[in-house]
Amino acid sequence: MSDRLVIDSLDFARNAGSRHGKISLIDFTRLHDLLFDQEGELIYRISGRYDKNEKPGLYIEITGKIHLNCQRCLGKLVHHIDLQTFLILVKNEEELDLADEDDTIDAILAVPDLDVTHLIEDEVILSLSIASCHAEGECSTLKLKSAESDLTGKTQSAHPFAALAALKKTN
């Protein structure tokens, strides 16, 4: 596991701080369940700045490539990450509640020990679709068709889970 970058978020924004680097997918523990494998890394840039209303915030850019599980064929799905977001820093829960009411504003609570790796992981997870799958016609349909033919060819099974075993063998 690499060294984690921890910043004082308000101080970082006030001083127009800027950091960039690469984070291996192995370091994103909450993302592991969504990934096909943990190969690769994400490139990030985080900078502190003020928005047009003079509110402090963090501008985040994340790029890279991850491999997700296709929900149709369960195969590897290459997903390109290209995120840019601005998060307004609020000082307390009341301000956070007010910001949550406005759908055009993304806000987080300003803390003196913000873990940038967790913040980047949060943004990546929020950007993913609920059910990722290949585009129409790109799944390995040969596997699916052979499994279906195995199932339809056997009308009577000796064991109630034999059909599932046939699917498992083809995948």
pTM (two decimals): 0.75
| 14 confidence band (pLDDT: 50, 70, 90) | very high
More confident residue, 13 or 166: 13
Residue 2 has pLDDT above 70, yes or no: no
Give the chain's end-to-end CA distance (angstroms, integer): 32
Reported as a single tens digit per residue, the pLDDT across 45-101 is: 999 999 998 999 999 999 999 999 888 888 888 999 999 999 999 998 888 888 888
Reported as a single tens digit per residue, the pLDDT across 140-168 is: 754 555 455 555 555 454 577 777 777 77
- C-alpha distances out from residue 61 to 35, 75, 81, 144, Å: 21, 28, 10, 38
| Every domain of the chain and the residues it spans | 6-138, 140-171
CA distance 140 to 134: 9
Instruction: Identify the pLDDT of residue 118.
Output: 95
